[in-house]
A and B are shown apart, each in its own frame.
Chain A
Amino acid sequence: MPGMTPIRPDDKHSARAWAAFVADDKAAAAPPSLEARVLLAAHAALAQQQRVDAERVRRRWFAGISAIAASLLAAAAWSLAPGGMTASRGPSAPRGADAPPAGTAPESSAAAATPESSAPAIDEPPGRPIPMTNIEAGRVLGTPPLRLASRPLFDALDGAGPVGAPGALRAKSFGAPTVEPVAVARSRATPNATAPPAHEAATPATSPGALAGAAPEAWPLRAKPVFDPDAVDTAPPPPVYRLDQATPAGAPREDPPAPPK
């Protein structure tokens, strides 16, 4: 039960001490000077709290005003920029309204919208790029984005065939005279041309290809053949060494000296 002494009554010494403690505690009181101290501290705390509240309100007000001013400045800067909002959106906005629906044929839309749509974009002042989305770019180009992305690089219907490799596989041996690709084309185009190529005149007449005389005139020969089997020197084969022989295996054996007769 609350209010009861925690000391057993049979313990007289402890009970007496507890009673003295309770009496001392009941008589305890804060000093009178504490009231003025507490009131002064409370007054200071109230003033501080009022200052903090006022500062918080002032900061909120300034934050709101700053946000509004920043929004107004941004809008003004955007509208006063070179090109402006209407000029930058000019090519796409009316075209978006006049753009054909997604189900129309791309050829007709490309033929109808491409020349007119590219003209104002070209006349745009160069100082500012035109912001466009891919949808807008597709409308300007007269091609839907999907068609634009799936269009092949080389359209065979336009007459532009695939570009061939710069060089073909060599069909001749290295010993045969090499033919320049340009000369081949010209020779095929004019096999019986009367005027020889310019570089043929510069070819010396004493070249081995010219001495052979097998090549036609349109097939100029190089001044020096790439490979001439006749001109190759027959060098001795390199010696092959074997483990069980001190001398190379490929080396010609010397006949022992004949015994004296």
Chain B
Amino acid sequence: MSTLFAIRGAEPEDVTLLGDATRGDLDAFATLYRRHQQRVFRFARAMTGSSDAAEDITQEVFVVLLTDAGRFDPARAAFTTYVYGIVRNLSRHRVRRERPGPSVDDLLRDGRDFDSDDDPSKLVEGAQLAGAVRRALIALPSRYRELIVLCDLHDLSYEEAAAVVGASTGAVRSRLHKGRQLLRLRLARVREAHQASGEFRQVRCPA
């Protein structure tokens, strides 16, 4: 909730900066970019699973903010909610245009990432674990994935997430519950695949 208050406290300033940027003040636009770029980039990266796609989406989001600034209505939603909505729409378009997402077989093959016998360092293991979770998250339907990212990673409230995705608070709760269940199920499958591949390797290695 502290993040929410911090965001709301910055609203007037964001609106002022946006107005100055639309009038050609690039310094105001740079300030606006530095304030929101990490949030935008993280959300886009979590939604697309790709840093390159997240960079493109970040650039596109700020260009859209500048050119379509007249569409932002402070009475309807907060500036951060508006930015999240743009990122969400662009990410959905990008994912829909490029690839539908990994299948269950891809997830089962990704179980080899847990096999860190060759590299025992915790850093690599953590990266592999994070990659496995990211792939499992990407495999979720977008209506569940976006709410998990918004609520569990970006700490948005149900109301703010509902404003971003354009749904009611009850729908957000329901989708979030369902998304978490699906994510747990997929992570359990990945772990089982990892264990199975480990036993298989134990059998084959002595030979």
Binding site for B on A (CB under 8 A): 2-8, 11, 13-14, 16-18, 20-26, 28-31, 34-35, 37-39, 41-43, 45-46, 49
Q: Within 8 Å of chain A (Cβ to Cβ): is B88?
A: no
CB-nearest residue of chain B to A52:
B67
Whether A34 lies near B180 (C-beta < 8 A) is no
Whether B42 lies near A34 (C-beta < 8 A) is no
CB-nearest residue of chain A to B27:
A39
A29 / chain B contacts, CB cutoff of 8 Å: 37-38, 41-42
Instruction: Kindly list 13 other residue pairs between chains A and B, CB separation below 8 angstroms, not including A28-B45, A38-B63.
Output: A2-B151, A6-B179, A11-B187, A14-B184, A17-B133, A20-B125, A21-B133, A24-B134, A25-B46, A25-B153, A28-B38, A30-B41, A49-B67
**One of A16, A24, A30 near B127 (C-beta < 8 A):** A24
B41 / chain A contacts, CB cutoff of 8 Å: 28-30, 34
**Nearest-CB distance from B153 to chain A (Å)?**
6
Interface string of B115-140 (1 = CB under 8 A from A): 00000000001110110111001000
B158 / chain A contacts, CB cutoff of 8 Å: 2
CB-nearest residue of chain B to A4:
B152
Whether B187 lies near A17 (C-beta < 8 A) is yes
**B-side binding surface: helix, strand, loop or mixed?**
helix
**One of B54, B66, B153, B191 near A45 (C-beta < 8 A):** B66
Whether A17 lies near B129 (C-beta < 8 A) is yes
Q: Within 8 Å of chain A (Cβ to Cβ): is B78?
A: no
Q: Within 8 Å of chain A (Cβ to Cβ): is B155?
A: yes
Whether A2 lies near B161 (C-beta < 8 A) is yes
Q: Within 8 Å of chain A (Cβ to Cβ): is B86?
A: no
Whether B67 lies near A45 (C-beta < 8 A) is yes
Which of the candidate stretches B28-36, B92-100, B197-205 sits at the interface with the other chain? B28-36
**Nearest-CB distance from A27 to chain B (Å)?**
10
CB-nearest residue of chain B to A15:
B187
**Number of cross-chain contacts by CB at 8 Å:** 117
CB-nearest residue of chain A to B46:
A25
Whether A31 lies near B24 (C-beta < 8 A) is no
CB-nearest residue of chain B to A18:
B133
Q: Within 8 Å of chain A (Cβ to Cβ): is B58?
A: yes
A41 / chain B contacts, CB cutoff of 8 Å: 59, 62-63
Q: Which 8 A-B residue pairs are closest in the complex by CB-CB distance?
A: A21-B133, A6-B180, A17-B129, A24-B130, A2-B151, A20-B129, A20-B126, A30-B41
**Nearest-CB distance from B149 to chain A (Å)?**
9
Whether A14 lies near B191 (C-beta < 8 A) is yes
30 contacts between A and B (CB under 8 A): A2-B151, A2-B152, A3-B151, A3-B155, A6-B152, A7-B184, A13-B191, A17-B133, A17-B187, A20-B129, A20-B133, A22-B153, A24-B126, A24-B130, A24-B134, A29-B38, A30-B58, A31-B55, A34-B58, A35-B30, A37-B55, A38-B58, A38-B59, A39-B26, A39-B29, A39-B30, A41-B62, A41-B63, A42-B21, A46-B66
B191 / chain A contacts, CB cutoff of 8 Å: 13-14
**Nearest-CB distance from A203 to chain B (Å)?**
108
Whether A35 lies near B34 (C-beta < 8 A) is yes
Whether B29 lies near A42 (C-beta < 8 A) is yes
A14 / chain B contacts, CB cutoff of 8 Å: 184, 187-188, 191
Whether B58 lies near A2 (C-beta < 8 A) is no
Whether B183 lies near A6 (C-beta < 8 A) is yes
B54 / chain A contacts, CB cutoff of 8 Å: 30
Whether B42 lies near A28 (C-beta < 8 A) is yes
A3 to B150, CA, bound (A): 9
A2 / chain B contacts, CB cutoff of 8 Å: 151-152, 155-158, 161
